[in-house]
Chain A
């Protein structure tokens, strides 16, 4: 009587099938659950005569519906999506920070220049001067504040990276554990599902390369083969604590620095954000602060203040010894102990970049300077015969000591060791150093330093006016310019008998000096025609409280093309920063949106393979329920057949 066995095998198989369906239904919302399907096969046949008769059904296997290709797609697109997401999230904060009603650097600049412009209407008015001083203070603090905010975002980004690294480490620990369990039970579906979920989670941090091993384990690496998990072993990521985070966060795998090894994932997004947006913002506002301070200080020290003194520095002197030293950071691995100073010669030539100076060969004075923004390398050398002394490095090819508007000096050239490295950051963080140095409104130098008066006996209609002030070295000398009685294109100065000839209607003082070699202090320009014998007196401009001629030059700095080789003024520079950050943010938003689309396609594809559809399960439920009922009926029939036999025997 094998029919009863047949019926029994049916009941048994359909019960299993129903429990698989039940499992699918109850796990339909479980994260990472892969739909399972039962596979039935007919059991071994019996020979009847020459034919075979089936003996029922067997459960061959319970299949976990999963597709490695779909999983791979999900992970890859997840890495991309979270890269752009995290970049966009961070970038949009800087975007808001710089917006018109955000930090208000542009408003502060405009108020500052307006205050200066208005002060020029009443140069001796203490209230106008006080307002201008207040606005200068506000402008400096606005620069400081913006830089502080940038640094806060840098810290925030480092914290996020640290948290991510912790999560990665805990996920890899779990995967390594699962690998261990899977060696014992290679096809346990719940373990496989768990590991798959963990791999998906891991993929949001970094681009993964997952390799399935024969023994049920997986090896996981990121980037260009940086191994995180090999079988049951794993390696931890960490964030370097030693290095200043002002230059961006550094990530290590074991002892190896892997900061540049990420190809996608949220870590890549955060690191990119640090590199492009935070660094650039810090460098650009630093450059603006330096440009503003240098231009203002220069003009201020060419004027006279209300105390009849040559103006003092208005803002921080960016070429003070301390700040020069702070621009070059020695690597902790250096063997030498040379101290570098970086002087900013020309702000309009400054590039938005950091630099890496490395000693190629200390003995032959060969050094390389790498500009980090584009990676271009300039070989440097030092041209001098003395072997141990302070020295300025110069470009090997041209002998030029100024590189991108910078000059680098070494306190003692013999203190440089082979392979020593220095990071040079000319502009980064400079905005936090911008301070207002003057505190008394009387110290704003609005007047020009030279007074010109015509002798009352002059008969010509010529007039002298102040041309350009180059420096204040000779402004407090008294000069008497006397035009030659017989030839009014020639003149003598004071008691010096030398006769000078007018060129371009300009007289340069001290007499005989030259504006090009720095010996000239100032020039005066002649308008009209002086008669021979006319005399003009030049003297220090004391008591000129109503003079605003230097103030007009200070206010004109707003429009002065200070940056980018003399093509951009402060506002243009700031709007460059705005449009740069805005475009980056906008771009990352678009990329994040399109990555989102690809990611959801991958998810769709994956869940079409592995996801549970309740309608499908309901249909299967009905199918197996009916099959179960049928098998039960078969059992009933067998029972009745047995009864017929028993009745015959009785």
Chain B
């Protein structure tokens, strides 16, 4: 084929341009370390890069959330630990208070001690977190959850939060409760023994019968309801809400009476007209339980009737402190379980993030060794093209004419 002189120049030029382009591309890969700089470099990879970036980003967010939840739960766990200690000291106070040989001064000292602990309990329930939010107020985070209002000689306690725990996501499928609302923790503690509570309702002739907290030995026999225990003429009569007599027997101090699955111990000197009520357990707050404890310690213990009243109440309070302790320790172990869950999820998310980052690296980063090799090879080709061009363009008959 004929070759025109122009063609020789242009072909060589085109060759060198093409080599140059390849050199530039490899140079760019070497300099940036990236194989995929724009989607067209590898359309499939670039779409996966996008998804990987999202996954890594989400993992980062989950880890941030995880840390934040952890610090919240650590704070809560600390408070729950303190609460458990408070209840334990209250229990020992209460056991000391059960000693009927204490004098009025001793009881007053115990009352002061209990009052101090009660104040601490209220303060702890109103704890604020790092951002100034009340941690036990549910979603009403700007409202102090517990308020105390004077009521006659005593105080009543109101919960001002709501019952909604806050959740936060720590993985695509897992949300963890960040906070526990105070109503479950402080307010809804079973009164009495959990099934029913006992209270002295009347004692016109200063009898000194004290009722124990009672128990339900066989839950299948238990019929919940309101009952009245009345002592008259040396007999004990129990009537239910419909005024039907469910128990009637002579009174004997220290003997348990049983009816409808309920068992209660009565002890002391019977006088006509002393009555007790049994009601299905409602819920009571730990604050009013402790308040009752304080109030009970202030009751005059000089008479037999006073002692009986204090003793009946003592049993109730001890049982309720037990329930509160169980409630706090249950919550504490629940928080512990959540902290474990955070830990496990953190490791899984870390792994996922690590794997995604590796994948991202493989998708978009250039292999420096192979690129450098190609780059050198390309440089040699470019040099060869340049040298051959110089040689060829030197060849012309005109040089010899």
Contact B50 A600 (CB under 8 A): no
B6–A544 contact, CB under 8 A?
no
Given A100-B49, A106-B53, A544-B139: A456 in contact with B283 (beta carbons within 8 A)? yes
Most chain A beta-carbon contacts within 10 A, residue among B1, B4, B166, B178: B4
Alpha-carbon gap, A559 to B137, bound state (A): 31
B86 is an interface residue with CB less than 8 A from chain A: no
A271 at the A/B interface (Cβ < 8 Å)?
no
Known: A92-B40, A611-B2. A124 touches B61 (CB 8 A): no
**A547 with B396: CB separation less than 8 A:** no
Q: Residue A117 contacts which of B51, B65, B131, B137 (CB distance < 8 angstroms)? A: B65
Interface string of A39-54 (1 = CB under 8 A from B): 0000000000000000
Residue tally, chain A, CB below 8 Å to B: 77
A118, A456, A621: the one within 8 Å of B187 (CB): A456
**CA separation between A613 and B44, bound complex, in Å?**
48
Q: Contacting chain B: which of A228-236, A513-521, A579-587?
A: A579-587
Q: In the complex, which residues of chain B have a beta carbon less than 8 angstroms from the beta carbon of A615?
A: 5, 396-397
Contact A574 B142, beta carbon cutoff 8 Å:
no
Among B43, B64, B401, the most chain A Cβ lie within 10 Å of the Cβ of: B43
A29 touches B50 (CB 8 A): no
| Distance A390 CA – B61 CA, assembled complex (angstroms) | 49
Residue of A122, A463, A546, A582 near B139 (CB, 8 A) is A546
Contact A456 B61 (CB under 8 A): no
Interface string of A119-137 (1 = CB under 8 A from B): 0111111000000000000
Cα separation A130 to B199 with both chains bound (whole Å): 55
B341 in the interface, Cβ–Cβ < 8 Å? no
Question: Given A452-B163, A615-B396, are A98 and B39 also a contact pair (CB < 8 Å)?
Answer: yes
Is A166 interfacial (CB-CB < 8 Å)?
no
B68 touches A121 (CB 8 A): yes
Per-position contact with B for A539-569: 1 when CB-CB < 8 Å, else 0?
0010111111100100110110000000000
Q: Any chain B CB within 8 A of the CB of A589? A: yes
* A612 to B140 CA separation, bound complex (whole angstroms): 92
Chain B positions 383-401 with a Cβ under 8 Å from a chain A Cβ = 396-398, 401
Complexed CA–CA distance, A609 and B250 (Å): 136
Specify which chain B residues have a CB less than 8 angstroms from the CB of A452 in the assembled complex.
Answer: 163-164
Complex alpha-carbon distance, A549 and B138, angstroms: 12
Q: Is A147 an interface residue (CB 8 A)?
A: no
Q: Does B329 contact A (CB under 8 A)?
A: no
- B166, A548: Cβ atoms under 8 Å? yes
Binary interface encoding of chain A residues 446-459 relative to chain B, with 1 for a CB under 8 A from any of its CBs, else 0: 01000111101101
Q: Assuming A92-B38, A618-B396, is B141 touching A546 (CB within 8 A)?
A: yes
Q: A96-B38, A582-B43 are in contact. Are A575 and B50 (CB under 8 A)?
A: yes
Whether the pair A118, B61 counts as a contact (CB closer than 8 A) is yes
B32 to chain A, nearest CB (A): 10
Interface size class of B (residues with CB under 8 A): 35 or more
A404 within 8 A of B: no
Known contacts A95-B39, A546-B166, A571-B54; A124 and B142 CB within 8 A of each other: yes
Q: Is there contact, CB below 8 Å, between B65 and A118? A: yes
**Most chain B beta carbons < 10 A, residue from A28, A546, A574:** A546
Q: Within the assembled complex, what's the spacing in Å between the Cα atoms of A531 and B272? A: 38
- The answer to whether the Cβ of A572 comes within 8 Å of any Cβ in the partner chain is yes
Instruction: Answer whether residue A114 sits at the interface, using C-beta atoms and an 8 A cutoff.
Output: yes
CA–CA, A26 to B361, complex, Å? 59
Closest-by-CB residue of A relative to B40 is A585
A106-B53, A543-B142 as given contacts; A613 in contact with B2, CB under 8 Å = yes
- A578: nearest chain-B partner, CB-CB: B39
Asked if B377 is at the interface of the complex by the 8 Å CB criterion, the answer is: no
Closest to B65 in A: A121
Q: How far is the CB of A595 from chain B (nearest CB, A)?
A: 14
In the docked arrangement, what's the CA distance between A618 and B401, Å? Answer: 9
Within 92-120 of A, Cβ neighbours of B (below 8 Å) are at 92, 95-96, 98-100, 102, 106, 110, 113-114, 117-118, 120
Q: Knowing A118-B61, A122-B133 touch, does A456 contact B167 (C-beta < 8 A)?
A: no
**Is residue A397 within 8 Å, beta carbon to beta carbon, of the partner chain?**
no
Mask: chain A, 418-462; 1 = CB below 8 Å from B; 0 = not: 000000000000000000000000000001000111101101000
- Does B169 lie within 8 Å of A613, measured CB to CB? no
Chain B contacts for A102, CB-based, 8 A: 38
Query: Is A321 located at the chain interface by the 8 A CB criterion?
Result: no
Write out the residue numbers on chain B whose beta carbons fall within 8 Å of the beta carbon of A113.
58, 61
Residues 27-55 (chain B) with a chain A CB within 8 angstroms: 37-44, 46-51, 53-54
Given contacts A548-B168, A608-B2, 9 further A-B contacts (CB under 8 A): A28-B4, A106-B50, A110-B53, A123-B166, A453-B163, A556-B169, A574-B50, A586-B43, A607-B4
**Closest 10 A/B residue pairs (Cβ):** A611-B4, A546-B141, A582-B39, A547-B139, A582-B43, A585-B40, A579-B47, A575-B50, A575-B47, A583-B43
A-B contact pairs, 9 of them (CB 8 A): A98-B39, A124-B131, A451-B162, A544-B139, A544-B164, A545-B142, A582-B46, A603-B10, A611-B2
